[in-house]
Amino acid sequence: MTNPLLIGQGIPPFAAILPEHVIPGMTTLLEEVEQRLSVLEQSITALEAPTWEDFVEPLELISERIGWAWGVLEHLLSVKNSAELREVHRQVQPQVIQFFNRFSQSRPIYEGFKKIRHSDAWEGLDGAQQRIVTAALRDAELSGVSLDGALKEQFNQIQMELADLSTQFSNHVLDATKAFSMTLTQPDEVAGLPSSLLAIAAQAARLDGDGKATPEQGPWCITLDFPSYAPFMQHSRRRDLREKLYRAFVSRAASGNYDNTSLIQRILELRQRKAEILGFPSYGSLSLTRKMAGDVTRAEALLEELRQKSYPFAQQELEALREFARSQGEQQPLQHWDIAFWSERLRESKFEFTAEELRPYFPLEQVLAGLFGLIQRLFGVQVVPADGAAPLWHPDVRYFQILDEQQEPIASFYLDPYSRPMEKRGGAWMNDCLGRVRRRQGTEVVLRHPIAYLVCNQSPPVDDKPSLMTFGEVTTLFHEFGHGLQHMLTHVDFAGASGINNIEWDAVELPSQFMENWCYDRATLMGMARHYQTGETLPEHYFQKLLAARNFMSGSAMLRQLHFAMVDLELHHRYDPKGTETPAQVRSRLAAKTMVLPPLPEDQFLCAFSHIFAGGYAAGYYSYKWAEVLSADAFAAFEEVGLDNDGAIAQLGRKYRQTILGMGGSAHPMAVFEAFRGRQPSTEPLLRHSGLLVSAS
């Protein structure tokens, strides 16, 4: 059998990779890389002074060989999930984790890096190479390279169990989201719902087996998938149905076959034990040693500064919402399922527009044209469609190339834009398909261009309408593209520090959040916001209202993120898994100072908090706010030269490309930021952009 998982290079042939390839392919691959690692270990041990070429590059090739196959499997699990793929993934995951443990705990490899660090050649290495070596030594120590005997065995068991629990957690959230649906058949049950949601709900009903469902006549199937859930909560006039949907949403994966409660407890126990084995008082302390903040105290100081600024605003916003609801005849005290509904009514009343009114001005093709125009204006690169030039995993996926000033290709990316709740996990993300690296192959030096995966879950095309995006979906696309730019516009030639590699986790959101600011820039917004039927540009009054509404409920939005971040740090730094308090009680305790409306007793939000229990944000959710300080300050540099000053913007954009986007993980994020801004970051631009600078009174 020719197994596509053994190709090991280039763009994966997604459609050719089947579940039956996984076990034989990964088994063969693991035997091969195990043998190659053993040979390298022997050769390095014999060398007095290993060099980059005879040690680091062969090591990278081994890592890439296994990483290519495992990376495409993890990707397919996210975008084309199936019971068959899950099962084979579950079967091979322990062996893969075992190899990664063996790789990261190799004493000969660790000693090889130490030899390079203390060799005469050290000073001759590029700054990026030095950072890679330093990080490799640190990561080996944090991966248990110094452990022996029973302790090493326990550590490796923990690593393996954590990987399995993470996959289980993610699958439970996906399954629990899929398991709930609410079918509506009566006109009064859909009162207030926008036509875009009725179309999505009728399409969902057809997928569910009712071939005659129409947006006008129903039935309508409402799900917990975000493009269905969020607009229903904002617009449904049926308070009882909002309550039903809200309670289902906040109790996802908290009972029955998909219950994540015990998984959370076990994950926290294992992370704490892992930290103790490595000599850290908490998993938070362990996690922060690899981050820009450096320690939990600094991260918490920023969160507390922002909390104190935003809490009074959030209190005022809730009181204003209560008053508005009362003025509109609402006699019941506001509950959680009322907040989105009345916020949307207040926004419409205050700014005289609805989010739905804007959708027709944001068809996906037009938004992409505007985004690509901005990229050319700022960074001098051109994005061109390359559909048909690369294999796809779904017909809706697009493929694009990025060309430099000389019209030469320098990078590519996939865009998977639409929600597919039956097989694709929720949220939006960027991941690397291939990273940039320059290496000698025989007599030639070959440059491999980077390729990114950009994945969103926006409203799909329905019937004869294209994908009409909410403004929130537009900012999400810009956000993910920011991550993609850092991966694709890197100029670092060493794999370990190119693109997003080796960037401290709390700095990695800088370029993504930076891009969101451009959605409020006149030239950018007006350049892409055109009515999909008439071609009419977004009327000026809408632009002014969008600007005015930017900071609507911003205290509440800030506080929500701070709540997530503070709960995350508390669970990973102070929480005692052996104590009497449960994770849910920790969350309730912190809610007293981070939520102005206490959570419901049955709110089991943690059971669906995939960022920290199934993603990379454990003891790192604060990174969103930490990086937002950096991104707001970086955007302030463009504001200072004048957003309509094309020459200055282009000049500054090239500097941003050269530093923030280009330098990747070749230098510490603070040094990279200072190279762009000329100073350390300030919180003032973030508070100003959020409308939280003036004192609450």
Active site residues: 480
The CA distance from 353 to 549, in Å, is 10
The CA distance from 259 to 340, in Å, is 27
The CA distance from 658 to 653, in Å, is 9
Structure-token pair, residue 99: 């190899």
The CA distance from 420 to 440, in Å, is 42
167-180 in b/e form (b: 16+ CB < 10 A) is bbbbbbbbebbbeb
The pairing of strands 451-458 and 409-418 is parallel
Interior angle at CA 136, CA 133 and CA 138, nearest 5: 110
DSSP conformational letter for 144: T
In single-letter form, the type of residue at position 262 comes to S
Residue 415's SS3 state is strand
Q: Phi/psi class of residue 465: alpha, beta or left (left: φ > 0; alpha: ψ in -120 to 50)?
A: beta
Residue 643's SS3 state is coil
Structure-token pair, residue 48: 């007095």
Q: Which residues contact 59 (CB under 8 A, 6 or more apart)?
A: 40, 109
Nearest alpha-carbon partner for 625 in 586, 694, 569: 569
Is residue 503 within 8 Å of 138, Cβ to Cβ? no
Residue 208's SS3 state is coil
In single-letter form, the type of residue at position 31 comes to E
Q: Which residues contact 107 (CB under 8 A, 6 or more apart)?
A: 145
Structure-token pair, residue 455: 């994945």
Structure-token pair, residue 642: 């004048």
In single-letter form, the type of residue at position 649 comes to I
Is residue 181 within 8 Å of 244, Cβ to Cβ? no
Measured N-to-C along each axis, helices 623-641 and 554-573 cross at an angle, to the nearest 10 degrees, of 140
The CA distance from 155 to 177, in Å, is 33
The CA distance from 650 to 674, in Å, is 19
Is residue 661 within 8 Å of 486, Cβ to Cβ? yes
The CA distance from 125 to 134, in Å, is 12
Is residue 543 within 8 Å of 657, Cβ to Cβ? no
The CA distance from 235 to 341, in Å, is 6
Nearest alpha-carbon partner for 625 in 666, 683, 664, 680: 683
From residue 400, how far is each of 197, 253, 295 by CA, in Å? 30, 37, 40
Is residue 307 within 8 Å of 593, Cβ to Cβ? yes
Reported as type and span, the H/E element at residue 455 is strand 451-458
Residue 305 CB neighbour total at 10 angstroms:
14
Nearest alpha-carbon partner for 564 in 516, 599, 522: 599
The CA distance from 577 to 211, in Å, is 50
From residue 617, how far is each of 69, 504, 625 by CA, in Å? 24, 12, 13
DSSP 77-111: HHHS--HHHHHHHHHHHHHHHHHHHHHHT-HHHHH
Structure-token pair, residue 34: 């195990």
